[in-house]
Amino acid sequence: MDALLSSLRAAGEPTRLRLLALSAHGELSVTEFTQILGQSQPRVSRHLKLLVEAGLLERFREGALVFYRIASNGESAHFARTLVDLLPQEDSALNRDLNRLSQIRERRRAVAEEYFNQNAAEWNRLRQLYVPEAEVEQQLVRVIGEEPIGSFIDIGTGTGRILALLADQVEHGVGIDQSTEMLSVARAYLEQENLKHVHVRKGDMYHMPFDDQSVDLATVHLVLHYSLDPLPVIKEAVRVLRPDGRLVIVDFAPHQEEHLRTEHNHQRLGFSDAEMKTAMQAAGLIPGETHSLTGDPLTVNIWQGTRTSVH
What was the pLDDT predicted at 48?
Answer: 93
What residue segments make up the domains of the chain, in order of their start?
2-101, 130-307
What was the pLDDT predicted at 238?
Answer: 97
CATH number of 2-101: 1.10.10.10
Phi, psi of 303 (to 5 degrees): -105, 150
CA atoms of 205 and 237, how far apart (whole Å)? 8
What was the pLDDT predicted at 45?
Answer: 93
What was the pLDDT predicted at 105?
Answer: 84
Q: Helix %, strand %, coil % for the chain, to 5? A: 50, 20, 30
What was the pLDDT predicted at 138?
Answer: 96
Chain mean position to CA 22: 20
Which residues, given as ranges, of the chain have pLDDT below 70? 1-5, 63, 112, 115-117, 120-121, 124, 310-311
Three-state DSSP at 288 gives: coil
130-307 has the same fold as 2-101: no
What was the pLDDT predicted at 2?
Answer: 65
The answer to whether domain 130-307 has CATH 3.40.50.150 is yes
What was the pLDDT predicted at 240?
Answer: 97
Residues 6 or more apart in contact with residue 14 via CB below 8 angstroms: 93
What was the pLDDT predicted at 7?
Answer: 73
Strands 170-177 and 149-155, sheet pairing: parallel
